[in-house]
Each structure stands twice: as C-alpha cells, then as structure tokens.
Amino acid sequence: MANPTLLILAGDGIGPEVMAEVKRIITWYGDKRDMPFDVTEDLVGGCAYDKHGTPLHDDTMAKAQEVDAVLLGAVGGPAYDDLDFSVKPERGLLRLRKEMDLFSNLRPAQCFDALADFSSLKREIVAGLDIMIVRELTSGVYFGEPRGIHTEGNERVGVNTQRYTESEIARVARSAFELARRRNNRVCSMEKANVMESGVLWRQVVTEVHAKDYADVELSHMYADNGAMQLVRNPKQFDVIVTDNLFGDLLSDAAAMLTGSLGMLPSASLGLPMANGRPKALYEPVHGSAPDITGQGKANPIACILSFAMALRYSFDAGSEADRLEAAVEKVLADGARTADLLGPEGGSPISTTQMGDAILAALDASL
Ligand code: NAD
C-alpha cells in the first residue's frame, strides 16, 4: 500500500521553528514504528506572498486537495500588516479552510498535570481535564448574508446574519458524535434556542441525527451562555461540546485558557471523507507566528507536535501511536522540561525549541 501523504506548510515566524521538531517526529515514526509518510513541503502566508505575490499559490492549493493531511505552522507577521486585505497571510489559511470545506474544527482542551498550576482556575478544577470542542467552521454569522454597514435615516446600521441549513448542522453533529464514540461517548450541544430560531433548528437537527444514527452516544443540550459559565465552573463535566461558529469561537478560546499556555494548544479542521475514507484535514497549532520570539529558539513546539498527534488519530487511524506521542509530551513535562513560555512565577532555566524536541524524541525512544 502507498505511504500516507502529508503536505507541510510551515509558514512564517516561529512556524518553521516548531515544524522542524514535528519533522523529526515524523521521521521517527518512519524509522522506529514502520510508519513512513511521503512528505512534501510548500509555502503559505507571508513567505508565499514574498515569492508568488499571493499567500497561497494555486499549485499549493491543488496539492492540499490531494494529500491525506495538511500540517500547518503559523502565518503572518508585522512585515505584512499593511498589505491589502486580499493578499494578507491569513487569506492563505482561510482559502485552505474554505476550498477544502473544513467545516468541523476540533479544539481539545487538555490539562497536563504538570501544568495545572498554569491555569487561571484552581488546580482541582482543571487537573486531568480532557474535553473537546467541535466548532462549526464554514457557516453561521461570520458568513451569512445580508451583511454590511448601511445608513438608515440619519444613523449607520451594522448587519450580520446567522444562517444555518439543516445539512450544515447535521454534518458537524455527525462529526461530534463520531468523535464522542472514540472518547467518553458524551456530546453536549450548545446554542441559544431560547432566543434564536437558528438555535431552535440546531437543537432539532442535532436531536434528529442523534436519534437516527447515534442513540448509543449520550446527548445533552445547553444554552451557550450557561455553557460558558459551566466551562469555568466545572469543565470536567463535559466530554465533547458541539456548537456553531460564533459560540464555538468564544467557547473554545475560553476552554483553551483553562489549560495554561498558548504554546500547548493543537487543533484539527476536518471536512468530508475523501475517496480513501480519510477526511479532508488540516492540523495546526492554535497560536500565531509569534514575531516577538521568532528566530530566538524560544518557541514551544508542543502545540505543533500535538497537532501531529491529532493527525495520527483522526487521519491515520493510529490512535495508539497518538497516545504514545501525547504520553511522551506528558512525560517530559512531568520531568520538568520547560520552554520559556512554560516557566511559572518561580522561574527556572528554560530549554530551547530543539531541546524540547530532543526530550520528546528521547521519551518516544524510551516508550519502545
Ligand atoms: P501569537 O499567537 O503569535 O502570539 C501571542 C503571544 O504568545 C506572543 O507573546 C508569543 O510569543 C506567544 N506564543 C505564541 N506561540 C508560542 C509558542 N509556540 N511558544 C512560546 N510562546 C508563544 O499571536 P499574535 O502576537 O496576536 O499574532 C502574531 C502574528 O500571528 C500576527 O500576524 C497574527 O495575524 C498571526 N496569527 C496567525 C495565526 C495562525 O497562523 N493560525 C493565529 C493567530 C495569529
């Protein structure tokens, strides 16, 4: 059978620095676990603009559509701040998401025990936390028409439209139920059915999809405002949360911060299955290009490495290998390895991006 294919788009700023550590881990899987990947690399973001005058060349877009999974580092930086909106680095990322139709955005909020004191919440509330937020990514109020700013009488009016079709709700609900089956089998759906018709439809469709195909999964519903409160009151009550684009944007950022540093947060964006059964997929850390620390060897590569662990689990059906990689990360943190962003108020001496990669590779070796 042909090797699985990966397109690496390391991007700008610290993107190439953190991706360099992921590449070493990909090589490790080929050498030590007999899981060779065919890897191609290309440009996205500011570096693509510098070379091609566009943040995502059509050839790169075409490659992204062909591979089994795309791994992205980060895009953007101060050098590109004044570019026209149509060629800003972020447009490259948005084009990938749109043309690959990546409607299901998975943002895990997982609190490694060694970092529980980093959370703004008490240790006992977050230690051992492991929840997954599934955010609808390609529809809802960020895309709905009509939109714009117009004048009515003597004042300006801003308009955005929350719009969801049944099929858009059903496919992201399916994605959440499928995910729950691989985890603790519970889904909580969040909307505002008390005040929004789109929320009423959301609740109806999620309930119908559940009854038809996923009755074995435990389903609950919650108003999104209560959900926000519950996330900070008792986040461990959740397993998988599924919600729309706007609420998901807010809830996933709040949940992310339960776990401490931005340098620790992976994500996956999934679309419909391809001919080979694998979903269209893009994996990327939540953080940006961190221009303030670029080129200094300070970046924490863990978010990018955990994004590759998500690829192992969701694109390559290698859940036990994803567990192995996550356990290696957990071990190095428990042993006290810290990049600068992970130093607490008590300080200590940080290790570099490469040294963190070394430590994780050593923990992987030790796992064999
Ligand atoms: P950022 O995530 O790049 O950085 C925020 C802060 O977190 C900085 O102090 C940075 O040093 C720190 N940080 C981020 N990742 C880290 C890591 N792996 N290790 C250690 N510290 C880390 O957000 P920003 O400063 O608002 O944005 C910088 C640039 O990145 C902008 O051009 C922005 O548009 C872009 N951006 C890109 C993405 C993406 O590619 N998905 C996401 C967010 C921002």
- Going by pLDDT thresholds of 50, 70 and 90, the confidence category of residue 345 is confident
Give the pLDDT band of residue 4 (cuts 50, 70, 90): very high
Mutate to test the pocket of ligand 1, among 49, 97, 289 (most ligand atoms within 8 A of CB): 289
**153: alpha, beta or left, given left = phi > 0 and alpha = psi -120 to 50?**
left
Sheet holding 130-136, edge to edge: 38-42, 5-11, 69-74, 279-285, 266-273, 104-110, 130-136, 240-243, 186-191, 218-223
Taking the CA atoms of 329, 357, 307 and 322 in sequence, report the sign of the dihedral they define.
Answer: negative
Q: What is the pLDDT of residues 242-258, one digit of tens each?
A: 999 999 999 988 888 78
Tell me: pLDDT of 356 over 80.
yes
Question: Where are the domains positioned within the chain?
Answer: 1-108+262-368, 130-258
Q: Please work out whether the CB of residue 81 comes within 6 Å of at least one atom of ligand 1.
A: no
Q: Do residues 200 and 208 lie in contact, with contact meaning Cβ atoms separated by under 8 Å?
A: no
Rounded to an integer, the average pLDDT of 260-288 is: 93
Q: Which residues are catalytic?
A: 142, 192, 225, 249, 253
Mean pLDDT of the chain: 95
Q: Describe the chain by its helix, strand, coil percentages, rounded to 5.
A: 50, 20, 30
Length of the chain equals 368
**Is the minimum distance from the CB of 9 to ligand 1 under 6 angstroms?**
no
* Identity of residue 71: L
Q: Token pair for residue 355? A: 């040294």
- Extract the tokens encoding 342: 């992970």
CATH number of the structural domain 130-258: 3.40.718.10
- Token pair of 57, please? 């060349």
> Which residues are registered as beta bridge partners of 268?
106, 283
Instruction: Report the pLDDT averaged over residues 306-315.
Output: 97
Question: Which ligand 1 atom sits closest to the C-alpha of 340?
Answer: 20
pLDDT digits (tens, 9 = 90+) for 37-70: 999 999 999 999 999 999 999 999 999 999 999 9
Reported as a single tens digit per residue, the pLDDT across 255-273 is 887 877 789 999 999 999 9
pLDDT higher than threshold 80 for residue 307: yes
**How far is CA 56 from its chain centroid?**
20
Helices (H) and strands (E) in the chain, counts: 12, 12
Q: Distance from the CA of 290 to the center of ligand 1, in angstroms? A: 4
| Average pLDDT over every residue of 196-217 | 98
For residue range 64-123, list pLDDT tens digits in order. 999 999 999 999 999 999 999 889 999 999 999 999 999 999 999 999 888 888 888 899
Q: Rounded mean pLDDT of 226-241?
A: 96
Q: Which fold has domain 1-108+262-368?
A: Isopropylmalate Dehydrogenase (3.40.718)
For residue 272, what pLDDT is reported?
A: 93
Find the mean pLDDT for residues 291-319.
97
On the question of a common fold for 1-108+262-368 and 130-258, the answer reads yes
